[in-house]
Amino acid sequence: MSEEAISGNPTGYHLTPDHVLLDGASQVERSDQVAVVPHYTVVSYDGLTRLAITVTPSCGGNFRDQAWETISIIREILRQQSEPMVLTMQTVFVADANDVPAAQKLFEAYFGEEMPLTLFVVQPPCGDAALAVEAWAISTRTVEVGYHGPHLVTVEHDGLRWVHASSGAIHLAGRSPYAQAEEAFAALNKRLKSIGVPFRDVVRLWLYQGGITELEGEIERYRELNRGRTDFYDGVDFASNPLARDSSGHATYPASTGIGTGEHGLVLTSIAVQSDRDDVAILPLENPQQMSAFDYPAEYSKKSPKFSRAMGIRIGDHLTTWISGTASIVNSETVHVGDIAGQTDQTLDNIEKLISQENYARQGWPDAGATLADLAKVRIYVKHPEDYEKCREVCERRLGGIPAVYAQAEVCRPDLLVEIEGVTFSPLRKAAETNAKEGDGA
């Protein structure tokens, strides 16, 4: 498939080692070393290359046709790179639960023994596609990728180890939400322990819960999920994580997204990071204009949600920021009730403040920070299909054409209409200043 054949889809930035989103959109407009390409962002730092890929098929037809188009586009993206690439993790958003078995067979047939950690989530892509995919790929030139079964993939590079793991328990119906949480966290913990990874090393977590805002008895399902997570976390010594060398004083809970799905169960997926390198560290971030989730009053949950608003990871001269699912909340209250455009703008304002240099400095890393222009990709959950176009209009005005997946999903409060998550890559301040001087000939 030619590049022209797929050029009508969302675009991303090709970032060279010396131009890793240094100063946002103006950088992209000026630099002749930055190229616009379909569907994905290329990020190069620390001697490795990553791709953040999003694909929503546009061919129409039945589910199988759209699935093969999606796989073909991903295949072509990997082939176009100047070095060998493999996928490590992908989320497949499926409109109809009845298509999940077919999707599993198709993806397993294509990837074979190099099947990335793959999660099939019943969240219909906005715009009527039968499926959409968000994937991460990495160059194998300097990286060793290990496939340890369908729910566990490891990536090792220069003293760093990333671990992608899933609970693998998609269908847990028939038990209470609390029992589902107990089983799912136990399964994920067991999978991590099987390769020597304590749960304290998890930096990013996704929780997909069916009927997230529904009541079971008098208690909302999401509240019971939070109670189960809190009880499990009580047995995890997050403070002992050797990478948590920060001065913020905040609990080192993973960044997290808790979101609804069309299946009545629970599935978890996670990323853990391990390293003995002195130049690798993590920092949990809180937002100055939002109450920390773990301090929420009892009216929102009997046991408050335990997650950080974002997780910063410094590796050498560069910073990665994993942004938790973020919504239109100020302090602990929903704002712009009933207004999708207002909620989308407020959500992006919250993200902008969360990842800013000022907020990083406030929490102990004065040389760190990012902007919305540093986003490699975003995932936007829209509650009502009729709000999609207005939400997308705001996102494209604020974010440009970065790779994005829009999926229909229940958000964790009935009055929230949209939730957004993403990941940024940016240089630390000293590295950015050095690159700027070199560019000026100083």
Structural domain count of the chain: 1
Please tell me the predicted confidence (pLDDT) of residue 169.
61
Cβ atoms < 10 Å from Cβ of 252? 22
State the pLDDT confidence band at 290, using cuts at 50, 70 and 90. Answer: confident
Least confident of 287-291, 354-358, 362-366, 392-396: 287-291
Please tell me the predicted confidence (pLDDT) of residue 12.
34
Please tell me the predicted confidence (pLDDT) of residue 4.
26
pLDDT at 38 over 60: no
State the pLDDT confidence band at 58, using cuts at 50, 70 and 90. Answer: confident
Residue pointed to by tokens 């930035």: 13
pLDDT at 23 over 50: no
Please tell me the predicted confidence (pLDDT) of residue 433.
61
> For 153-170, what is each residue's pLDDT tens digit?
999 999 999 999 999 865
pLDDT at 27 over 80: no
State the pLDDT confidence band at 293, using cuts at 50, 70 and 90. Answer: low
Please tell me the predicted confidence (pLDDT) of residue 175.
82
Find the domain containing 167 and state its range. Answer: 4-440
